[in-house]
Chains A and B, each alone.
Chain A
Amino acid sequence: MRTKHPIIQMLLIGVVASVAGVALALAIDWFPIAASTAAAPIDELYDVLLIVSVPVFVLVMTVALYSVWRFRAKPGDQSDGAPIHGNTLLEVVWVTIPTIMVSALAVYGAIVLEEIERPAANAMEVEVTGQQFAWSFEYPDTPGGEPVQSNELVLPLGQQVHFQIKALDVLHSFWVPAFRLKSDAVPGITTEYRVTPTKEGRFDVVCAELCGLGHTTMRQVATVLPPAEFEGWLAEQAKQSEPAADDTMPASATDEEEAQ
């Protein structure tokens, strides 16, 4: 009768350990501060992956540890185990269930991907340029029509931003952990992604791709402002770059800016 019990025993241990494991995994504060619309779906996806993964790990550990405990050789035992060569049903089961699981997760992942990359009609363009070892930014659509250059990244709250990313020398990777998104900056091509900030504040901009000596220190700050303050900042920037702009584009630009 002892032979019937193992499966039930293991099932009980497995369920208890899975519940405890999931609780522990979710109790951990994994993520940095969330400051974009992409953060919630990505964090949720990560949590779901944890919830699915813990029972898989618990299953493997339960069977392994239980076997070691239950079937461990007594000292001096020279006998062999049961000559079991396989079990077709079992093998079908452990091909089918993982197939269903990973397929479901792949579909879920693709849906989240579509969600975080969906373009909005009124997206604001920002050009990001990486070079050893700093980021610089350009805002092509300003009220004055004159592009604004900036060494700091300032974004309006609640407005989708379309980053167009370039590199002048080697690979870099433009990452704002609080937004959860990154893309490499690649010499010769323009890469892109979209972010809608959901929180005011200052967030780290990190270079995530090894780019040489100063890679470690290639960090800047992204500031998210309420839309009105952002407009003010942009106008201010346009004014500051005015003397340079004056040579090519006189008068009219300045007027419009002052009207704002």
Chain B
Amino acid sequence: MTFAAKLKGPGWYRALLSVPLSLAFSTALVVGVRALYGWDPLFDGEAITTVALIAMPLAFLVGIGCFDYWFYWAAGKPTRDEDHSGHGAKTWKDYFRVNTDHKVIGIQYIVTTFVFFTIGGLLAMLIRAELAAPGTQFVDPNTYNGLFSVHASLMIFLFIIPVFAGIANYVIPLMIGAPDMAFPRLNALSYWMLPMAGIMMVASFFAPGGAFATGWTAYAPLSTEVPLGQQFFTIGVQFAGASSIATALNFLVTIITMRAPGMTFFRMPLLVWANFTTSLLVVIATPFIAGSQFFVLFDRALGMNFFNSANGGDVIMYQHIFWFYSHPAVYIMMLPGFGIISEVISANARKPVFGYRMMAFSLCAIVVLGFTVWAHHMFVSGMSAWLRVPMMITTMLIAIPTGIKIFSWLATLWRGVIHLTTPMLFALGFITMFTLGGISGVMLAVIPVDIHVSDTYFIVAHIHYVLFGGSVFTIFAGLYFWFPKMTGRMYDERLGRMHFWLSFVFFNLTFGPMHLVGVDGMPRRVADYAAEFATWNAVISVSAFIFGMSYLLFLYNMITSWRNGPKAAANPWRAHTLEWQVSSPPPLFNFDEIPTIVGGPYEYGVPGAVHGVFKKPEPVAAASGGKE
């Protein structure tokens, strides 16, 4: 291929050419408009950066080839038959291009999100280093505010939310007996938007004035007044949000329309239910955070007054819109994990999930209730006082469907045959810590307690029990569980267990004491603290460093096992769901024979029970006659 052809066709050459072109375009646009208006100076760095932050990622996406097929189609050119040349991976290079295979996209998602998890973790280590002793250690307050803001934003928007999308991308089509997702090209676009958001947020450290430093909550009017770095968050969130909405639509359509014959809703594995309900949350809630950040962007870039009280803006409105997304976002980060835990526990306890229907209904109840509690984040915000008690009640009611799930998992363990594999250990660790996070959540719902502990380290402790002890432990459980399916190799069980025990112990030593210092009066988001908190903070920092190091065991295990771990069997867990009935890794289009679902997904211990049967194309008539 000639160089010119390479530049014309989709791929990295065209992408790397279109990015500088879009920067030039952004500069010209800003300078042109400013010249027309007669504004001085012509070169406004902040305005150019703002336009470029929108234009450059879009140009990259066009260049790498996310839109080629749609442009071709929209231009009315003759139909091109799909040759599936963009589908699947033969070499590692196929992971670095626009790929429409859900299995490739799933791995792209997982690897990318773990890159950002690693960066976010390093930022956490810096935070704990600064807080190891009172006084200033090595960062100034502005840098410190940037550290925790970028840490939280990466962990939430670039790790927990999208890594679940990655795991589901890989597993869901296999679980429901589909050859791929409903919209493979949209799926590819969803993935490629993600690194755009992540790179933008990390790059904010290089912005004049430092990284965005207003927390992941970006409360106005601070976020409309701080330096340029904020724009990297405001716009980055739009790309992450668009990615997540597109993926959620894809999951909804896939799950509704592409289930194998015989798979009724009540024969779906609970991970499928979990992603179905999560996707509903994403589609309904995510536009609200997009809105809140657009308003901040308009205030900043266009001089509007959404949150400028001097000109009639409403500061509290920001928080209502933000939390109308960000509370449901807690469940966006939790429900997929609930699904993973149901799969892992049933397979490793060799028992049907206890109360399957209640497990599914409780997911739906959480979706509905999840939209009625957002203002529990605002008990001290100065919002209408009467709203507090109803929001306390709805918040506490969520403990009921959540309790159903925990009790049902416990009942699933009861009289099982329990195999303490690494994923099972993480599932049990999850139950422990998520219960604690749920309990502190109920405490926080009680308004008088919240008035005292809101904006303290009690909140930091609570969110990490829910999002790390909760979500991240389910992510580890899921990755160990499906690692053999995804890579065709087995991870090192001994290292996996070490990873679990180290992270379990030092997680608790890191975040447990934070409850105490929080109630005792240490506010969050501070670079320094009163001397009375010094001992606990030293303990927390040392634990955090060991906790951080335990993650290296995981990385080492994943990388070396992927390269040369022992070959995995198709079904190492003897699980019943469909993804385990095909080879590891699965064939290009997942199923060489179409499965028919004949029973529930977890019929362990029921003699002769199977979830799906595979009919050979020829003897169809005879076989199906016998079965049905």
Contacts and interface: CB of A to CB of B under 8 A. Distances in A.
A102 B351 contact: no
Given A106-B396, A216-B527, A98 B413 contact: no
A183 B442 contact: no
A27 to B, nearest CB: 12
B355 A86 contact: yes
Given A102-B396, A208-B454, A83 B606 contact: yes
Which DSSP category, helix, strand, loop or mixed, fits chain A's interface? mixed
B414 A71 contact: yes
Interface string B601-627: 001111000000000000000000000
B392 A106 contact: yes
A90 B411 contact: yes
A194 B151 CA distance: 36
B415 interface: yes
B431 A64 contact: yes
A184 B335 CA distance: 32
Nearest to B419: A73
B432 interface: yes
A45 B448 contact: yes
Given A105-B446, A191-B382, A216-B141, A82 B415 contact: yes
A207 to B, nearest CB: 7
Contacts of B388: 113
B396 A182 contact: no
Contacts of A216: 141, 144, 526-528
Contacts of B416: 67, 71, 81-82
Contacts of B520: 30-32, 177
A225 interface: no
Interface stretch (A52-60, A151-159, A233-241): A52-60
Interface in A28-66: 28, 30-32, 38, 41-42, 45-46, 49, 53, 56-57, 60-61, 63-64
A256 B416 CA distance: 84
Interface string B267-303: 0000000000000000000000000000000000000
A56 B530 CA distance: 34
Interface stretch (A11-19, A140-148, A167-175): A167-175
Contacts of B142: 213
A84 B351 contact: yes
A248 interface: no
Interface stretch (B95-103, B107-115, B156-164, B401-409): B401-409
Given A173-B380, A217-B528, A182 B219 contact: no
A258 interface: no
A31 to B, nearest CB: 6
B523 A91 contact: no
Contacts of A183: 380, 382
B439 A210 contact: no
Interface string A72-116: 110001111111111100110011001100110110111011001
Contact of A60 (B352, B432, B442, B606): B432
A24 interface: no
A90 to B, nearest CB: 7
A106 B376 CA distance: 13
Contacts of A41: 448
Contacts of B411: 84, 87, 90
Interface stretch (B54-62, B310-318, B482-490, B491-499): B310-318
Contacts of A71: 349, 413-418
Contacts of B27: none
Contact of A46 (B357, B432, B449, B605): B449
Contacts of A112: 448
Contacts of B400: 95, 98-99, 102
Interface stretch (B117-125, B220-228, B546-554, B561-569): B220-228
Interface string B428-460: 100110011001001101111101101110000
B35 interface: no
A8 interface: no
Nearest to A219: B530
A212 B523 contact: no
Contacts, number: 253
Interface residues of B, number: 86
A113 B448 CA distance: 6
* Most chain B CB neighbours (cut-off 10 Å) among A112, A173, A182, A206: A182
A46 B455 contact: no
Nearest to B415: A82
B519 interface: yes
Contacts of B559: none
Given A32-B521, A86-B356, A113-B447, A64 B432 contact: yes
Contacts of B528: 216-217
B315 A171 contact: yes
A211 B352 contact: no
Contacts of A83: 351-352, 603-606
Given A46-B519, A110-B392, 18 more contacts: A31-B519, A42-B449, A60-B435, A67-B410, A67-B418, A68-B413, A73-B350, A80-B417, A86-B354, A86-B356, A86-B358, A102-B399, A105-B396, A184-B380, A187-B309, A189-B316, A209-B219, A211-B222
17 contacts: A31-B519, A49-B449, A67-B349, A72-B418, A80-B604, A105-B442, A106-B396, A169-B221, A182-B454, A184-B381, A186-B315, A186-B382, A188-B315, A208-B455, A208-B456, A208-B523, A213-B145
Interface of B: 141-142, 144-145, 213-215, 219, 221-222, 225-226, 309-310, 313-316, 349-352, 354-358, 380-382, 388-389, 392-393, 396-397, 399-400, 403-404, 406-408, 410-411, 413-420, 428, 431-432, 435-436, 439, 442-443, 445-449, 451-452, 454-456, 516, 519-521, 523, 525-528, 530, 574, 603-606
Interface of A: 28, 30-32, 38, 41-42, 45-46, 49, 53, 56-57, 60-61, 63-64, 67-68, 71-73, 77-87, 90-91, 94-95, 98-99, 102-103, 105-106, 108-110, 112-113, 116, 165, 169-171, 173, 175, 177, 180-184, 186-189, 191, 204, 206-217
* 9 A-B pairs closest in CB distance: A188-B309, A177-B521, A191-B382, A81-B416, A83-B605, A80-B605, A81-B351, A208-B455, A109-B446
